[in-house]
Amino acid sequence: MDTANGKVYCEKYPVNYSALKKNITTKVSTKDKELKAISYALQEMVQKDL
């Protein structure tokens, strides 16, 4: 809560967590640096429907 000019203000920001769960993804990692870069790039393309 905040107070300004003798008035009390309260702001609420509802968050739909079930909508956020659909956007969370993990990437599969490889041990070699070059393969990891290629793997991450391909996974990003799949996630963006390219």
Sign of the torsion angle spanned by Cα atoms 39, 40, 45, 48: positive
Domain ranges of the chain: 2-47
CB neighbours of residue 29 within 10 Å: 9
At 29 the pLDDT is 72
Phi, psi of 2 (to 5 degrees): -120, 150
Q: Retrieve residue 7's tokens.
A: 């008035």
The predicted model scores a pTM of 0.41
Secondary structure (3-state) at 38: helix
- Distance CA(35)–CA(21), nearest Å, equals 28
> Tens-of-pLDDT digits for all 50 residues of the chain?
788 888 999 899 888 777 766 666 677 777 788 888 888 888 888 888 76
